[in-house]
Amino acid sequence: MDIVVLIKFVPDLVEDLEIDAGTGLLDRSFLRLMPNELDDHALEEALLLKERHGGSVTVLTLDSGDVDETLFTAIAKGADRVIKLTGEGFDQGPSNQRIAGTLRQALSGIHFDLILTGTQAVDDLDGFVGALLAEQLKLPYVGYITKITAGDGHLVVQKEYPGGLNAEIEVSGPAVLGIQAAEKPPRYVVTSKVMEAMKTARIEEIAVDGVTVDTEVPVSAMALPESGSHAEMIEGNVQQVAQKLAALLRERGVVA
């Protein structure tokens, strides 16, 4: 099974986020980026599948300027190929629609049986990359996956639902899967192995340009969350709570 893993670089929240007063958007000049945590789980799940059933793991990411170490780490963990996509504006936090379009274009030249990525990321403003990409590729998509088992000619995936419910879903043919958590915590790879990968492995590059996007949600402004003074608990039975809530919403101008 040839698996492609998609890794998105997202703002590292260890640094304070700042809003650029001029653009009203995230100030990216001093932003620290890190691989999306759930994408790391997707890589782990892909490596586990490869170890059990053979095949290959290819890691794909948009080059945001700071991705090499993560790609070499993926090699050290057991990935076979690592590819960074180069193009205009990739360091400016493109929308998920645009990321999906870029990935679709790059994937036209890469063989795969399965695409894994994190179900979601901290900076998803316009849907999830996996679902958007699946739509563009006309492939099935299942998200919130915590386990993948290879069956006879198909996969059985375990999907998490709210409220502690789990479903097992059969998936056949090429598909895009959104990983919520790998079966095991992502592995640790010693630094010396990463250093060795830096010396011996090669990061492939694919230039992608001219990506068109049908719909793109424009972001007009961003703001840091304001901390309120207190929370108000609405007491009473269902009827009373609903009435008070409706009154509050009208009072605050949320509904007419």
* Footprint on this chain of other proteins (rule: CB under 8 A): 14-16, 32, 34, 185, 187-188, 190-195
In the bound state with other proteins, the residue whose beta carbon lies nearer, of 11 and 140, is 11
Burial 54-92 (b: 16+ CB within 10 A, else e): ebbbbbbbbbbeebeebbbbbbbbbbebbbbbebeebee
Residue recorded with tokens 């782990």: 44
Minimum distance between the CB of residue 195 and other proteins, rounded to whole angstroms? 6
What is the secondary structure of 207-220 as a DSSP string?
E------S------
CA–CA separation, 54 and 47 (whole Å): 9
CB of 69 to other proteins, least distance (A): 9
Give kind and range of the element (H or E) at residue 184: none
CA separation for the pair 113, 49 (Å, rounded): 12
Instruction: Report which secondary-structure segment, H or E, holds 174.
Output: none
> 104: closest CA among 78, 139, 72?
139
For residue 110, the SS3 value is: coil
- Return d(Cα 75, Cα 51) in angstroms, integer: 14
Q: 40 vs 63, which CB is nearer to other proteins? A: 40
Task: Look at the block and give the residue holding tokens 């399965």.
Answer: 114
* Residue 51 beta carbon to other proteins: minimum distance, rounded to whole angstroms: 11
Nearest-10 crossing angle of helices 191-200, 68-77: 110
Nearest-approach distance from CB 239 to other proteins, in angstroms: 48
Q: Of the two residues 33 and 142, which places its CB atom closer to other proteins in the complex?
A: 33
Closer Cβ to other proteins, 77 or 159, answer by number: 77
Cβ at position 179, least distance to other proteins in Å: 18
Our CB check for other proteins shows the closer of 173 and 185 to be 185
| Residue closer to other proteins (CB basis): 187 or 244 | 187
Cβ contact 25:125 at 8 Å: no
Cβ nearer to other proteins, comparing 16 with 152: 16
Instruction: Work out how close the CB of 256 gets to other proteins at its nearest, in angstroms, rounded to a whole number.
Output: 45
Please state the closest distance from residue 80 (CB atom) to other proteins, in A: 19
